[in-house]
Each structure stands twice: as C-alpha cells, then as structure tokens.
C-alpha cells in the first residue's frame, strides 16, 4: 500500500529511526515531535511528493493517515 | 596563488551554560538543548566589551602566537554585523589599537554566517592580483547584544567570538576557487530591523524589532535547498570528487541542521567536522574556530569550507594542503 511507503519515509527522517509509526500514529503528540522534526518532515514531503507544506500545517493534522491524505489530495489538485 | 597561513581565535570570558539558561527559563530543559542543538556552553562579551575589543584580542593573539612582524600586514579586512559605530569602520579602530602601519588598508565587510568565505574571497583576490602580500581577515561578532533577554532560543544558540586569519603568498593551505550566492528575498527571516537608518531603535524594551529576529523554519528550508547544490557546484569547479575531500568544514549553525545536511549530501561522518559544543553558533567565526581546532587532530589534505545564513548569503571554497 502506498501509505506504507510514506510511513517508511517518515520513519527514516526521525533521529531514532527504530520508533514504530503506523497510520494511526498521532505524531504531534509523540515525545520526538518538535519544530525541528516538523522541518525535516516538511523537506521530505517536498522532496518525495513535491508538495510544499508549512511545518505548522503538518503539526496541526491529526495523524499519519490525515497527513498522507492531505499530501495525495494536494498532488491530485495540481 | 594565496594561502591560509595562520589562524588565531579569541573567546570572551563570560560563559553561559545550559544549566544557567534552564534556571532562567524553567520550561527549557538543559539536556534537551544539548541533545537538539549540540551546544553545552557559549561565551558572551561583557557589558563594556565590544566588537573591536575582541577583534583586537584575536589579532594580538595571532601576532604573538606566530611571531608576526605587524609592519608586514598590508591589509585588514574585518567581517562583522555588530560594528562599534555606524562610522568609522571597526577596522580603522582595530588598526590603531593593534598598531598596524598607517600604510595598511582597512575595511569592514558586513556579512554573517557566510562571512569567512566572503572575506577569504576578497583576501585571495588581493594576494592573487599581487596587490598585497599579507592580508589579515578578522571575524568578530557580538550577536549577544542583539538578542532580547527573554529570547531563550537565540540565547541558547549564539555565542560571541573573534578570529584572525593571515592570508599570504605562502602558507600551508592553498585557497582554490570560490562559489558564492545571494538571495535577498530571505532578508526578513534573519534580521535586526530597528537601529539603522530605515527604522530607528524604539524606547520600548519589549519592541522585538529592536532585537535579532530569526525565522528558524525558513532558514532551515533555505539551507536544505541551497547547500547541497552549493557543495556540488564547488566540487565541480575545483575538479574534486566528493570522496576526495577529507574534511568538510561547514558553518556550525547547530548540530541538528549539520546532521541533516551531512545525511542529505551524503558525506561520511568521519569527514564532517562538528565542533560547537562549547562555543555555540559564533556566526562568521565558526569555520575558523573549527579549522584551527582541527589542525592538531585531523590529517587535513583537501578541505571544503561552506558558509550560509543571514542575507540569505552563501559561499564555499576548497583548500589544498601544500
């Protein structure tokens, strides 16, 4: 499933890349989440999906599922 | 041909530890500061200590450490964004305080985190054109004076420092070709808005435009987009493969950004210098401080220096050990 690819990419950006991430993970409530991590995820989304998001936007979304849907929606509307 | 011959550094005497910062801002965990930005201590200038004072100390140290006849210095470049005055240039004050010849040229350049690269590019041109024989490049910043007393982020990040580098027609490290760049669209993202001609400094102590403002995410974004290409361009310009550079010396912005850039550019850890634990981000001084500290501990052959930041401004150059 394409979301699994996204989860892998998300995971690989974390300082501790053994952390378990699922579609339901509410990343912005996790202890690793801060403004710097949001920046790294922003750059990954820009690189891999050509979608430019503000870090605050990423933080405001509920979970990985929502974030991934947002990216796909943006891609489709291009 | 021009060479980096000698470097000396001066760190001011007032330390601020992470514990000091946590004491003042209890929600700011001292371990978290170290973990995230790789800084344990930073030193700042005293209330009556200014840029020319620390610059003079760095230059006198260079003269003493390497037994330089100061009458042979024929040009002084001072890179600073915290000059003593609007005018005259800080370089003129330093020339007098150190006792350099009155036949010595002396100018300031206003540049931040890319300033060491820009200063080297000018020094290199002066020597290479045979106009001058011995150029001293000083980097000196007292950003602590630009930071609001409650701006815990920037207090944690920045330290004050000065360095002096002698660039000459002989020496150990040949200066190769430069890549430089500018994008003034980012001007507002790292700025002290008030205090110069356009906006006067206001009396209101809480007017944040009187102080250093940094939009961290925007700076991060600019860096992540521009610096990988800069490195690639400069490697090409100097006919190096990435693997032929044994030492990459980047501006020490913070360790989070440095780790991110290193991975993004795919530079092996052992070839990438991180040296800011007890200095913090000292703006234009980070590269010469890390370079000087690397001399005894690393076998340096082909080196790349990379600076980036306020402006936006960026630059890179390779050096070759003779």
pLDDT digits (tens, 9 = 90+) for B242-280: 999 999 999 999 999 999 999 999 999 999 999 999 999
What residues make up the domain containing A29? 2-14+22-76
Judging contacts by C-beta atoms under 8 Å, the chain B residues touching residue A34 are: 36
Residue B12 distance to chain A (closest CA, Å): 29
Structural domains for chain B:
3-171 (3.40.47.10), 177-321 (3.40.47.10)
Q: What is the pLDDT of residues B211-248, one digit of tens each?
A: 999 998 889 999 999 999 999 999 999 999 999 999 99
Domain harbouring A71, CATH code: 1.10.1200.10
Which chain B residue's Cα is nearest to A53?
B221
Judging contacts by C-beta atoms under 8 Å, the chain A residues touching residue B36 are: 34, 36
8 Å CB contact between B121 and B305: no
Give this complex's ipTM. 0.78
- Nearest residue to A43 via CA among A52, A32, A31: A52
Which chain A residue's Cα is nearest to B153?
A35
Which chain B residue's Cα is nearest to A40?
B260
Give the nearest partner residue to A55 out of B217, B256, B260, using CB atoms: B217
Classified as helix, coil or strand, B166 is strand
Would you call A40 and B217 a contact, using CB atoms and an 8 Å cutoff? Answer: no
Would you call A36 and B256 a contact, using CB atoms and an 8 Å cutoff? Answer: yes
State the catalytic residues of B. Answer: 113, 251, 281
* B254 token code pair: 């913070």
CA B41 to chain centre: 17
pLDDT at residue A1 is higher than 70: no
Classified as helix, coil or strand, B260 is helix
CA A8 to chain centre: 10
8 Å CB contact between B314 and B114: yes
- Nearest residue to B139 via CA among B309, B312, B319, B273: B309
> Which residues lie closer than 8 Å to A38 by C-beta, 6 or more apart?
A55, A56, A58, A59, B217
Name the residue with higher pLDDT: B79 or B216.
Answer: B79
Give me the number of domains chain A comprises: 1
Neighbours of B13 (CB within 10 A): 10
Burial class of residue B137 in the structure, from the number of CB atoms within 10 Å of its CB (0-12 exposed, 13-18 middle, 19+ buried): buried
A59-75 in b/e burial notation, b at 16+ Cβ within 10 A?
bebebbbebbebbeeee
Would you call B220 and A36 a contact, using CB atoms and an 8 Å cutoff? Answer: yes
- Chain B, 180 to 219: residues with Cβ < 8 Å from chain A are 216-217
Would you call B216 and A35 a contact, using CB atoms and an 8 Å cutoff? Answer: yes
- Prediction pTM value: 0.93
Judging contacts by C-beta atoms under 8 Å, the chain B residues touching residue A40 are: 260
* B143 token code pair: 């950003």
Angle CA B116–B153–A39, to nearest 5: 80
Give the nearest partner residue to B36 out of A36, A43, A54, using CB atoms: A36
pLDDT at residue B31 is higher than 90: no
Q: What is the pLDDT of residues B161-211, one digit of tens each?
A: 999 999 999 999 999 999 999 999 999 999 999 999 999 999 998 999 999
> Which residues lie closer than 8 Å to B226 by C-beta, 6 or more apart?
B181, B183, B308, B312, B314
Residue B123 distance to chain A (closest CA, Å): 36
C-alpha span between B279 and B301 (Å, rounded): 25
């Amino acid at each position: 499933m394409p979301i699994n690819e996204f989860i892998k990419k998300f995971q690989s950006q974390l300082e501790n890349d053994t952390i378990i991430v699922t579609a339901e993970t509410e990343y912005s409530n996790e202890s690793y989440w801060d403004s710097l991590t949001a920046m790294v995820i922003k750059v990954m989304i820009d690189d891999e999906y050509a979608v430019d998001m503000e870090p605050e936007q990423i933080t405001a979304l509920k979970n990985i599922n929502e974030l991934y849907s947002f990216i796909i929606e943006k891609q489709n509307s291009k | 041909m021009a060479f980096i011959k000698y470097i000396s550094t001066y760190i001011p005497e007032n330390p601020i530890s992470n514990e000091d910062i946590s004491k003042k801002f209890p929600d700011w965990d001292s371990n978290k500061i170290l973990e995230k930005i790789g800084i344990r201590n930073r030193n700042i200038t005293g209330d009556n200590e200014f840029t020319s004072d620390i610059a003079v100390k760095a230059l006198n140290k260079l003269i003493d450490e390497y037994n330089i006849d100061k009458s042979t210095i024929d040009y002084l470049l001072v890179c600073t964004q915290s000059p003593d005055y609007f005018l005259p240039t800080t370089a003129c004050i330093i020339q007098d305080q150190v006792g350099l010849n009155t036949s010595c040229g002396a100018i300031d350049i206003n540049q931040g985190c890319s300033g060491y690269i820009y200063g080297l590019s000018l020094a290199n041109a002066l020597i290479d054109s045979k106009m001058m024989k011995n150029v001293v490049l000083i980097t000196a910043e007292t950003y602590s004076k630009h930071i609001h007393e409650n701006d815990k982020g920037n207090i944690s990040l920045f330290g004050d420092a000065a360095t002096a580098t002698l660039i000459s027609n002989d020496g150990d490290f040949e200066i190769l070709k430069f890549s430089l760049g500018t994008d003034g669209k980012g001007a507002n993202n790292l700025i002290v808005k008030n205090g110069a001609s356009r906006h006067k400094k206001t009396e209101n102590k809480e007017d944040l435009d009187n102080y250093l403002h940094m939009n961290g995410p925007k700076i991060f974004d600019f860096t992540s987009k521009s610096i990988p290409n800069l490195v690639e361009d400069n490697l090409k310009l100097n006919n190096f493969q990435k693997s032929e550079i044994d030492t990459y010396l980047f501006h020490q912005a913070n360790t989070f950004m440095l780790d991110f850039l290193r991975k993004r550019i795919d530079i092996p850890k052992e070839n990438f210098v991180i040296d800011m634990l007890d200095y913090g981000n000292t703006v234009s001084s980070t590269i010469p401080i890390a370079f000087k500290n690397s001399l005894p501990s690393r076998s340096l052959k082909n080196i790349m220096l990379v600076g980036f930041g306020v402006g936006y401004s960026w630059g890179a150059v390779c050096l070759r050990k003779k």
